[in-house]
Amino acid sequence: MQAIVKGSNEPGDLTLGEVARPSARSGNVLLEVAATGICGTDIHIYKGEYNVVPPVVIGHEVCGFICDTGEGVSNALIGKRVVSETFFSVCKVCNFCRNGKPNLCAQRKSIGTHVNGAMTSFVEVPAHGVHILPDWISSPAASLAEPLACITNGMADDNYLVGPGSDVLVIGPGAIGLLAAQVAQATGASVTVRGTPRDRARLDLAEKLGFAVQDGSAPIEEARFSAVVECSGSPYGVEDALKACGKRGHLVALGIIGKSATLSFDHVVFKELTVTSGFASNPRSWQRAMQLIADKKVDLEAMVSEVAPLRDWKRLFDKSMSAEGLKFVFDPRA
C-alpha cells in the first residue's frame, strides 16, 4: 500500500513509498483510513525539527473504519467509523500513566512518530483508544478530533480558568487557535482572535465562526483579558499574551517557540498570572473533545480547507506551511 514515509531525521526525506499492510495484533484494531489530517507536528517532522524513529509512516490525526480486530477485541467493532488516540503504547506504571497522563510517559510510543501512522490506507491502533463517531460528521472533519483533544487537555483540564463571563484572547488564528477559540466559546466565554496581517483569510474565518478579531496592527490591549491562549508559537505572540493578561489572569501556552526568546516574564509576578499548558492529549481530554463534538459545540467542518489523495502530498504540505488555508486532509481512498 502507498504511504507517506519519513526515511530519516534529516530535513526533507519524506516520500510516497510502498509499505506492507499491517494486521491487528492482540488488543489492537486495524483501521481502513478514511481521512488523515496534516498536523503542525507533521510539518516539524518534514523539516527535520521533530525526531521520529525512521523509517516510519507519519500521520496521527486519523478517522477510519475498523476492518479487523486482534485477539481479545470484540469483532462487533468491525465496520464502526472511529477516531483514534495517538498513543500506541506507554509503560502503564509510571506516575503519569497511573494518573491519566500517558502523554507525559517517558516510554510513550506514538502513532506516526515511533510506530507507523495513518498517512496510508491501513493503520493498526490500540482498541482502547478508539472513539466511535456520530453519523453526521464527515470523516475529514472528524480527523480534527485529535487536535481538539490536545486543546481540551491544555484548556479544559482540572485547573480550567475559562468559563462564562471570561473575556478570552486567542493569539494565532491557525487550526489550533480556532479550535481553542471554539472551546473557550463553548464554555460561555466571549472570545477575541488576534492574528497578523498575513493571517487575513484565517481571521475572516474566525469572524464567520462568531469571534471578534484583531489584526496585529492594532495595539495590544494591556491587562484587558481574563485569559489569553497563546497559539502562535512566536515570541511576539507570547510577549503580547503576557501584556494582554489581566490581573490574576490565566495564560495558556499552546504554541511552541522552538528556541530561546526574550520575554517580559515579570508580568507573571506583578499581575499574579497563572501559566498553564497542555502537551498532546490524554484519555480524559479525548472524552471532553468527543462530548464537544456530540453536543455540536464546535464546528470542525468549517476548519477543513481541502481533502486530497496521498499523491498530492507535496502540494498539501506546502499549503499547510503557508497561511493559505487551515487544515489539509488526505483521503487515501481517493
Interacting residues toward Zn ion by CB under 5 A: 39, 61, 90-91, 94, 97, 105, 147
Closest approach of Cβ 262 to Zn ion, in Å? Answer: 29
Closest approach of Cβ 122 to Zn ion, in Å? Answer: 20
Using alpha carbons only, what angle is made at residue 159 by residues 196 and 91, rounded to the nearest 5 degrees? 100
Judged by CB, which is closer to Zn ion: 143, or 187? 143
Judged by CB, which is closer to Zn ion: 42, or 239? 42
321 Cα distance to chain centroid: 15
Judged by CB, which is closer to Zn ion: 147, or 173? 147
Judged by CB, which is closer to Zn ion: 105, or 213? 105
Judged by CB, which is closer to Zn ion: 91, or 256? 91
Contacts of 88 (CB under 8 A, 6+ apart): 109, 110, 111, 114, 115, 125, 126
Closest-CA residue to 168 (of 275, 272, 252): 252
How far, in Å, CA of 311 to CA of 313, rounded?
Answer: 5
Judged by CB, which is closer to Zn ion: 140, or 249? 140
Closest approach of Cβ 94 to Zn ion, in Å? Answer: 3
Closest approach of Cβ 196 to Zn ion, in Å? Answer: 23
Grid coordinates of 172: 494565532
Closest approach of Cβ 152 to Zn ion, in Å? Answer: 13
Provide the 3-class DSSP secondary structure of residue 293.
Answer: helix
Provide the 3-class DSSP secondary structure of residue 148.
Answer: helix
Query: What is the DSSP pairing of strand 225-230 with strand 245-253?
Result: parallel
Contacts of 51 (CB under 8 A, 6+ apart): 9, 113
Closest approach of Cβ 256 to Zn ion, in Å? Answer: 12
Backbone angles phi, psi at 36, to 5 degrees: -135, 120
Query: Is the distance from CB of 67 to CB of 31 less than 8 angstroms?
Result: yes
Closest approach of Cβ 98 to Zn ion, in Å? Answer: 8
Contacts of 32 (CB under 8 A, 6+ apart): 64, 65, 67, 121, 122
Judged by CB, which is closer to Zn ion: 39, or 119? 39
108 Cα distance to chain centroid: 17
Closest approach of Cβ 8 to Zn ion, in Å? Answer: 22
Q: Is 65 exposed, middle or buried (0-12, 13-18, 19+ CB in 10 A)?
A: middle
Query: Is the distance from CB of 183 to CB of 158 less than 8 angstroms?
Result: no
Judged by CB, which is closer to Zn ion: 14, or 105? 105
Closest approach of Cβ 331 to Zn ion, in Å? Answer: 17
Judged by CB, which is closer to Zn ion: 1, or 91? 91
